[in-house]
Amino acid sequence: MSPVLSVTGYTLSYRTRSGLRRALSDITLDIAPGETLGLVGASGSGKSSLAWSILRMLPGNAQEGRGQIALAGQDLRMLTRRQLAALRGRRIGMVFQDPSTALNPSMRLGDQVAEVLIRHQRLNNRDAAIQAEAWLARTGLPHPRAIMDRYPHQVSGGEKQRVVIATAFACRPELIIFDEPTTALDVITGARILDLFAELRAETPVASLYISHDLALVGRIADRVAVLEAGRIVEQGPARDVLRAPRTATTRRLLDAIPDPAHRLSGPPPPAAPLLALNDVTVTYGRASAFGQLLGAPAPVQGARHLTLALNQGEILGIVGESGSGKSTLARALTGIAPFTGQVVFANRRMTGTDRMDRAWHRDIQIIFQNPDASLNPRHRIRTILGRPLRLYAPASPAEIEAGIIAMLEEVGLPAAYASRHPHELSGGEKQRVAIARAFAAAPKLVICDEITSALDVVVQADIARLLIALQARHGTACLFITHDLNLVRQLAHRVAVMYRGDVVDVFDATDFATADRHLYTQALLSAVSRL
């Protein structure tokens, strides 16, 4: 069969202040009808640049070289802007990594699916609404009629991604590009999205380009795999051959970086010396006043319910569970962001609320967030970001603070010269290293890691995991490691706590993860994990 997508000898560069920077070099690949090609590589390898090149949505500083990008034999580089606008959505669909940014927050979800049908299928409003509801039902949403009337902020991340997928498939395009569509989702929701993708692909002859840094996931769904490094395809072939018998060091490095529970990174658990205890802790969101209740305000929602949990000094406790299970709510309560009832005992201090959490409490409990772009002030230099905890928690002279900043940078593997840079001048992994350094700067007793590797590619994730373990062991700091990556938490943690709908339903030693006596929800988490 003739390929749906054919890229031949394609080259792309970006104009920068320091001159042209090559992003893609001599890219050649084909995707046949009904076939899925997995495109893998580390951050900066050129995966997203290739996707935007195919969609013809390149930034103004892009400079294309030679080569051709053809959809069913039609050279996309020769089309006008109007022709491309008519093609996107009708012949090429796109499913983005973060559905929150892919959906218009001011439009109802049903209208967003119907809009594509009205534009590209020439349906009237009524027929488009009927088709939109049918597609939402086809994606497995339990109440499609109700979803039609909701806005993006009123549904979960998994539901939003199903709406995006329904929009992509609605016009039955020839090609769909999937750009890390499950990275922002928990393991169970991600597995359901992959099952949905497999079902829809079986029903349509759509060709798919699936971009990911998760080789285990790609091996589950791709027919063939292409490996990118520094803008070049270094290996390409059937998924089974590439993933089981890689021919290049690049592919082997990607495979070696996949978290393997058999190769633990943390040492033996420390002697039992209590540090933290949660007793009957409950966090409630959306408390309405009496007047608000009369006006029909939404009922309060419990983000965490009657939590009882303990952590020892120097211990790493993994917290796992799907989105909405209460993992981040637990972190918010411990750091004083979310009010709670019940009792928290930390380092022999008892708290029954957030009002008495003073500077000493916040020094001893530090948090590292998922997205360093949101947690690092973009207007400040790294020197200011790292110097602030030193000034706040350990007053010292300017010379001592400067020496501490340089020492922290070196401890997390960054050059001293980075102190003069702004966050936007660093890669994602480098920014997360700065966030880790800031958390450890105050010499805390407990560091909370809230999905700190989920936005990173598999190679950088492995580096960050090793760095965290080294720092944790060196400083003797306890750690709550919140994640939806079960293989990673089995590598890192001494014990694992499983949360489900605000409750802790399982706590056990990390080496006993796969035993048959685990809670049913724990077993469901395990069954959802992608493996090579």
Mean pLDDT of 403-419: 94
* Arithmetic mean of pLDDT, 35-55: 91
Q: Which residues of 423-451 are buried (b: 16+ CB within 10 A; e: fewer)?
A: beebebbbbbbbbbbbbbbbebbbbbbbb
Residue 354 has a CB neighbour count (10 Å cut-off) of 17
**All structural domains of the chain with their residue ranges:** 314-337+357-527
- Segment among 54-58, 155-159, 289-293, 318-322 with least mean pLDDT: 289-293
User: 72: Cβ–Cβ under 8 A, 6 or more apart, which residues?
Assistant: 2, 4, 91, 174
Phi and psi for 428 in degrees, rounded to 5?
Answer: -60, -45
**Quick check: pTM over 0.85?**
no
Lowest average pLDDT, out of 392-396, 464-468, 525-529, goes to: 525-529
3-state secondary structure of 428: helix
The terminus-to-terminus CA distance of the chain in angstroms comes to: 29
The band of 140, judged by pLDDT with boundaries at 50, 70 and 90, is confident
pLDDT greater at residue 107 or residue 216: 107
Q: Which residue has the higher pLDDT, 312 or 526?
A: 312
In the predicted structure, residue 290 carries a pLDDT above the cut 70: no
Residue 302: which pLDDT band, with cuts at 50, 70 and 90?
confident
- Please report which helix (H) or strand (E) contains residue 50, including its range: helix 47-55
Cα 441–chain centre separation: 26
Residue 292's CB is within 10 A of a number of other CB atoms, namely 12
How do residues 465-502 score in pLDDT, each as one tens digit? Answer: 999 999 999 999 999 999 888 888 888 999 999 998 88
Quick one: fold of 314-337+357-527? Rossmann fold (3.40.50)
pLDDT category, 451, cuts 50, 70, 90? confident
- Does residue 289 carry a pLDDT above 70? no
Please tell me the predicted confidence (pLDDT) of residue 403: 95
**Residues in Cβ contact with 402 at an 8 Å cutoff, skipping those fewer than 6 apart:** 383, 387
pLDDT value, residue 501: 85
What are 163-210's pLDDT values in tens digits? 998 898 888 899 999 988 887 677 777 787 788 888 887 887 889 999
**232-238 sheet: strands from edge to edge:** 92-95, 175-179, 207-212, 36-40, 224-229, 232-238
Beta bridge partners of 503: 500
pLDDT at residue 292 tops 60 = no
Of 404, 475, 400, residue with least CA distance to 445 = 475
